[in-house]
Amino acid sequence: MNPESTGYKRDVIIQTTAKLMVPFILVFGLYVMMGSEGTGGGFQGGCILAAAYILYVTAFGTEKGRVMMPESWNTFFTSLGLYLYDGAGLVAIILSLAAAQFLNYSAIWPLANILGIAEARGYMVAFVVDVGIGITVMAAFVSQFFDLAWKEKEEEKGE
Amino acid sequence: MIVPIDFVLLFFLLVTAIAAITLKDLFAAIVLLGAYSFIMANMWLQLGASDVAFTEAAVGAGTSTALMVAALSRLSRKARWEK
AA identity, residue A100 = A
What is the Cα–Cα distance from A7 to A20, expressed in whole angstroms? Answer: 25
Closest CA to A156 of A70, A63, A74, A64: A63
Chain A residues whose beta carbon lies within 8 Å of the beta carbon of residue B51: 39-41
Chain A residues whose beta carbon lies within 8 Å of the beta carbon of residue B77: 2, 4-5
Q: Please, are residues A34 and A127 in contact by the beta-carbon 8 Å criterion?
A: yes
How many other C-beta atoms can be found within 10 angstroms of the C-beta atom of residue B79?
Answer: 11
Residue B60 per-residue DSSP state = I
Domain that holds residue A112: 3-157
Residues of A in CB contact (< 8 Å) with B are 1-2, 4-5, 32, 38-41, 43-44, 47-48, 50-51, 54, 58, 141, 144-145, 148-149, 151
Decide which of B80 and A88 is more confident: A88
Decide which of A121 and A73 is more confident: A73
What is the Cα–Cα distance from B32 to B65, expressed in whole angstroms? Answer: 10
Please name every residue paired with B25 in a beta bridge, in sequence order, or none if there are none: B78
Give me the count of residues in chain B.
83
Q: pLDDT tens across A84-109, in order?
A: 889 888 877 877 777 777 877 766 66
Chain A residues whose beta carbon lies within 8 Å of the beta carbon of residue B72: 5
Chain A residues whose beta carbon lies within 8 Å of the beta carbon of residue B67: 141, 144-145, 148
Q: pLDDT tens across A133-159, in order?
A: 999 999 999 998 888 887 766 565 554
Domains identified in chain A, total number = 1
Query: What 3-state class would DSSP assign to B25?
Result: strand
ipTM > 0.90 for the complex? no
Counting residues of chain B whose pLDDT is more than 90, the rounded percentage is: 37
- B58·A51 Cβ contact <8 A: yes
What is the interface size between A and B, counted as CB pairs within 8 Å?
57
- A148·B73 Cβ contact <8 A: yes
Whole-number average pLDDT of chain A: 79
Is the pLDDT score of A66 beyond 80? Answer: yes
